[in-house]
Structure 1
Amino acid sequence: MRWIYAIHNRLNIFQKVLIANAVLLVVTGVGAAVLAVHVRQLSLVERWLHDQALTVVLMAFLAAGLAVSLGINWVILRVAFLPLFRLREIMDDVRAGQFHARAPAIVGDPDVAAMGSIFNEMLDRLDEYRRATASQVLRALEEERKRIARELHDQTSQVLTSLLIHLDLLKERLGDDAPEDVTRKLAFIRHLTSDTLEEIRRLTFDLRPTILDDLGLVPAVRWYVQNVLEPAGIDVELVADGFNGRLRDEIETALFRIVQEALTNILKHSRATRAQVLLRREPGGVSAEIRDNGVGFNPRQAIPGVGPDPGRGLGLFGMRERAALVGGRIELHSRPGQGTRLRVWIPLDGPAAPADEGGAGKEVAIGHG
């Protein structure tokens, strides 16, 4: 059997199909020859007496021969095309959004093995191009966000703050003798200016939180929890462990954006009442885990460009891209009705993941929604 297996691995699909059809022709020819010899051995009387029976036997023999031929053909072709079926499964996985899927080492057909190798090379090149493009886009996006946030903070916010001061001075100068309608309009303008200033500050934080640049990851996440989730009625527990110093800027930015997106999804989609954020600095990297008690979802349906909602899953896709660009990875666990747990791990120096260990300097902040 080994020599048959060795020959099978060396033949391509065309050769296997050619041999399969040749085998069918041989089997059919041998069967027809046996039938012809048997018929010649019958006398004329036997032929006349058994004409009807002979016809039935002939038809049965032909039917059996056809069934055997079709069965042999199916088995041989199934074995011959099995490597193609495996390659097709990988292509379907890639089309469904599993961009990290690769064709395994294919044995049994040299042509299909070459196709699988070329397919993997194409995917690797596309993946490198996609990551390089995503890196440039995200870097440019962060720089643009930082520029706009700086302009809003240094110019627009300063102008609005100055306007509030002048409104207060104007109110003091008018005193208590000012007409009621003027006082009411001044109060309305001041209220509108104050709300606009607060919205500008919120927008500035969303674009590029200065607290992230000034104080680091943990204070920025804490600010976001206290000012976005807790006012919405979500009870959030924030645990930070091992953060005794600052991380590299790209790691802090990537991790904050991932946590921010996860918390935004909790606020918009989960209908959760409780959430937990665990930030840990470990010997070889940093991790963040976000949990909620919300409605959950099916992660297989959160693939951008797939299904009736092409925009679904873009947030998760962006989180995976941000993690991958700094050598990290994301694990997502969710089921309908059972909440969601998302964990991201980013290496500090290399791509290898360490064991799950804790660090020193534990800090716990519990928020009440």
Structure 2
Amino acid sequence: MTTKKRKYKFSRIPVRGLSLQQRLPLLICILLLCIILVFSISSYITVRRSYLQAGRERLSSLSMQLSSLFGQTFQNFLQTARQAANQEELRAYLITGKAGYREAAIRKLEALRTDSANISATLYDTHKRPVLHIVRDSLGEKMPGDPGLLETAVPDAGVIGKLHQQHNRIYFPVLHKVKEGRETVGYLLRWRKLSTTQEGVQQLSQLLGSGAILYVANLDGSVWSDLVSPVDAPRGLADRSTGVHDFENGKGPAIGAIRTIQHTPWMIMIEFTQASLLTAPNRFMNWLIVAGMLFTAIGSFLAWLLSRNLTRPLKDLTAASSALADGDYTAIVPVERRDEMGKLARAFNAMSGKIREAHADLEKQVQETGLMNDQLRELSAHLQNIREEERIHIAREMHDELGQLLTGFKMDVISVKRKMGQPVDPKILTRLDTMEATSDEAIKFVRKLSAELRPSLLDDLGLIAALEWHSQEFERRYSIRTIFQSEMQEIAIAPLIGTGVFRIFQESLTNIARHAGAHQIKATLKLSNSSLKLTITDDGEGFDPDGQRKTLGLLGMKERAIMIGGELDIYSSPGRGTTITVTIPSTQLTGSGR
């Protein structure tokens, strides 16, 4: 089974139907739009790229500064915490273990709780076994331990542990050595709350920039916080290394910078959404769009004014050209400019003047030629009439005078034969018979020649009888079947009209016999209210009327048709025969022709 592919035709924009005054502003508007569009897109891409690059550099710089700032803060914090861990009361209790020093050590540990960030404090011996433990009443004993921190080697400066989540809060441990001189006598472990208010975070975000988000997390990514409460790890950035990264945060493209914090197992991450970084480029793009629309409107208006200024002379020139084409040779174009359009208008006016003069000369020549043609046609008609009159006169003279002479000669021969005595010489009798037969042939020839010069039937019985007689004579002479049909028996027309129609019919049959090679001819004569029409059709070889050289026979037939006030048409094609039609208006039938 075959499938037919459908052909879809897409219609083009109908630019060809627009005028030049409409095309020019449209094309300039499209050109302006293309230029503004390309410029706007390229400018926006350049500005966007520069802003994103500046945002990455700024983010890297901010992350480094915050990491350094937090590192210095925790370094100072460790120094302060080391002083608290090496108080005399704590060293004395760890060294002696006596109950008298226990109360003093407890008071020192409770004194550490004055800082609201401190949650608990635990004193360990050298084997890292707890000997004293102080905790805030609100938490009880629910604070988790950090065995990993106790198992690590503790430097003299102290160590800060990982972030831990408890009760929707973030805590971290701080471990210090308690030393007596150079000897370590124990350890002080304190749990502190990551205490930062929401207002502080907002102020920090405003300091960082609009849309900036600050995170703190363990280096292994186990706990994340926004410095206020635990948060989920940022999507697409939780497993990234330090540096600046592009990622998707669930709200769109974003840029994040990760840095480690010195003296802690933590890292800091600052996040910017690309939308916040691209606020200025987007405003710039909006400004470009508004400016582009304004420039396009102004450019289109100026282009419209320019096209109107250019096409107004063209309209005047077009109107004048149309008037000139319609025959108004007085049309001129007003010249109001000195540029090329003004030169064109002056050239058109000069051309119009020359055409006007040439047209006047041509009309004069046409009138003279028409008058001459009329005179020649009248002369030709007069000559044709004289010819017909001469032919009538010759035919009558031949029929009457020469016919009578030949008839008298024949009667004399017969009389001589009767008066000759007997016996008659056979040679003389034979010669007399020959003279009688010759006189009969001469009489017949005179009658035939007289009929060809002017058929007596045309004068005696009319046009229809003459056409029928000539059809029969033509068929007898050339052995071409000729059928003549007439819708009426008699017709009253002027003698000149009848003679012209008969001569055209006669010339048509003669041309068919000479050139057509036809086997049958059909002629019809019809009379209607408007005209008399004679149609002659043959089945001959035919010819091309446009390519056929105009012969004298065809030209004579056309001129004869014109002289009797009619029209002759020829329809033919090679191999399909020829049809000749003579049409005479009814108003000309009873007149005198031309």
TM-score by length of 2: 0.40
Aligned to 1:129: 375
Question: Residue by residue, what CA displacement relative to the aligned partner does 1:21-71 show, whole Å, maximum 9, x if unpaired?
Answer: x969x9xxxxxxxxxxxxxxxxxxxxxxxxxxxxxxxxxxxxxxxxxxxxx
* 8 A contact 1:242–1:282 mirrored in 2: no
User: Offset of 1:222 from its aligned partner?
Assistant: 1.5
| Counterparts in 2 of 1:164 and 1:336: CA distance versus 1, 3 Å | farther
Question: Residue by residue, what CA displacement relative to the aligned partner does 1:122-169 show, whole Å, maximum 9, x if unpaired?
Answer: 332222112211121111111111111111111001111222233334
CA distance in 2, matches of 1:345, 1:164: 47
Name the aligned partner's letter for residue 153 of structure 1. Answer: H
CA distance in 2, matches of 1:172, 1:269: 52
Question: Residue by residue, what CA displacement relative to the aligned partner does 1:173-217 show, whole Å, maximum 9, x if unpaired?
Answer: 458953332233223222322222222112111211111111101
* 8 A contact 2:542–2:575 mirrored in 1: yes
Aligned to 1:205: 451
Tell me the SS of whatever aligns to 2:543.
coil
* 8 A contact 1:149–1:204 mirrored in 2: yes
| Counterparts in 2 of 1:80 and 1:298: CA distance versus 1, 3 Å | farther
- Are positions 1:316 and 2:554 aligned together? yes
CA distance in 1, matches of 2:430, 2:548: 51
Aligned to 1:335: 573
CA distance in 2, matches of 1:336, 1:178: 67
CA distance in 1, matches of 2:435, 2:374: 53
- Are positions 1:218 and 2:531 aligned together? no
Aligned to 1:237: 483
| Counterparts in 2 of 1:228 and 1:350: CA distance versus 1, 3 Å | closer
Name the aligned partner's letter for residue 467 of structure 2. Answer: V
User: Offset of 1:337 from its aligned partner?
Assistant: 2.7
* 8 A contact 2:487–2:526 mirrored in 1: yes
Higher RCO, 1 or 2 (CA under 8 Å, sep at least 6)? 1
Pairing partner for 1:195 from 441, 457, 465: 441
* 8 A contact 1:303–1:314 mirrored in 2: no
Aligned to 2:356: 110
| Counterparts in 2 of 1:350 and 1:254: CA distance versus 1, 3 Å | closer
CA distance in 2, matches of 1:181, 1:300: 65
* 8 A contact 2:464–2:490 mirrored in 1: no
Aligned to 2:428: 182
Tell me the SS of whatever aligns to 1:279.
strand
Tell me the SS of whatever aligns to 2:558.
helix
Name the aligned partner's letter for residue 314 of structure 1. Answer: L
Name the aligned partner's letter for residue 501 of structure 2. Answer: L
| Counterparts in 2 of 1:219 and 1:178: CA distance versus 1, 3 Å | farther
Aligned to 1:4: 317
Structure 1: gaps (5+ residues): 17-21, 27-72, 84-105, 305-312, 352-369
User: Offset of 1:253 from its aligned partner?
Assistant: 0.8
Tell me the SS of whatever aligns to 1:321.
helix
Question: Residue by residue, what CA displacement relative to the aligned partner does 1:223-262 show, whole Å, maximum 9, x if unpaired?
Answer: 2122233232111111011243432111111111111111
CA distance in 2, matches of 1:226, 1:300: 32
Tell me the SS of whatever aligns to 1:297.
coil
Name the aligned partner's letter for residue 258 of structure 1. Answer: I
Aligned to 2:233: none
Q: Which moved more, 1:158-167 or 1:325-334?
A: 158-167
| Counterparts in 2 of 1:171 and 1:335: CA distance versus 1, 3 Å | farther
Report the count of equivalent residues: 263
CA distance in 1, matches of 2:391, 2:447: 14
CA distance in 2, matches of 1:300, 1:232: 29
Aligned to 1:165: 411
Structure label with greater radius of gyration: 2
* 8 A contact 2:544–2:573 mirrored in 1: yes
Aligned to 1:258: 504
After TM superposition, the structure 1 = structure 2 runs for residues 1-369 of structure 1, keeping only pairs within 5 Å, are: 1-6=314-319, 109-174=355-420, 177-300=423-546, 303=549, 313-350=551-588
Question: Residue by residue, what CA displacement relative to the aligned partner does 1:294-325 show, whole Å, maximum 9, x if unpaired?
Answer: 22233346555xxxxxxxx2122121112111
Tell me the SS of whatever aligns to 2:587.
coil
| Counterparts in 2 of 1:174 and 1:273: CA distance versus 1, 3 Å | farther
TM-score by length of 1: 0.62
User: Offset of 1:344 from its aligned partner?
Assistant: 0.3
The percent identity for this pair of structures is 27
Larger strand percent: 2
CA distance in 1, matches of 2:422, 2:466: 43
Tell me the SS of whatever aligns to 1:277.
strand
* 8 A contact 2:462–2:490 mirrored in 1: no
CA distance in 2, matches of 1:177, 1:285: 71
* 8 A contact 1:323–1:329 mirrored in 2: yes
| Counterparts in 2 of 1:301 and 1:145: CA distance versus 1, 3 Å | farther
Name the aligned partner's letter for residue 3 of structure 1. Answer: D
